Amino acid sequence: MTTTTALVPTHFYFGAQMEVACLKGDARRAVLEAVRANPKVGYYANRKLWTDVDPYEIVRVVSEKCLDVRPMKATPDPTWKPEFIPGGFFGHTANNHDQRWLYERDPKAPTIRIRKHKNGTWKDASGMRFNIALEPHKHHDYNF
């Protein structure tokens, strides 16, 4: 399996699915809802950790309500540096939402199983939430 690296701003979807990023409003919402309703191998399941997000790739569709996912390696893009402003309890990172990450598949990482619940959310056995997406997404909240 080949390793792929992609530069993806954490607040946009693009790459092979650039046309989705260009859509706005109801059209964009409809495409993303269709992706979430019908996940496939090659899509991503990004784990929500309160204000942080970790990228996972979908490696197997077990059923319409069950997926096997595997964590991806995400390293900060060296061209992005946090703009730290001292003050308060710890300080503030002014460009927190402009983060850029480099993503790699990790075939040696263990897979986990996530399931779709009645309310439409995807969760693992410990209750962590996942969002189905066209691109991997990583976000580290420097302000928390």
Q: What is the pLDDT of residues 74-113, one digit of tens each?
A: 998 898 887 888 876 777 878 777 888 899 999 999 999 9
pTM for this prediction: 0.77
* pLDDT band, very low/low/confident/very high, at 21 (cuts 50, 70, 90): low
Please return the burial class of 17, using the count of CB atoms within 10 Å of its CB with bins 0-12, 13-18 and 19+.
middle
* pLDDT band, very low/low/confident/very high, at 11 (cuts 50, 70, 90): very low
Q: What is the pLDDT of residues 115-140, one digit of tens each?
A: 999 999 999 999 999 999 989 999 88
User: Which secondary structure element, helix H or strand E, spans residue 58, and what is its range?
Assistant: strand 56-63
The whole-chain average pLDDT of the chain stands at 82
For 14-24, what is the mean pLDDT?
Answer: 52
The confidence score (pLDDT) of residue 65 equals 95
The confidence score (pLDDT) of residue 12 equals 36
**Who's near 22: CB < 8 A, 6+ residues apart?**
none
Contact 131, 48 (CB under 8 A): yes
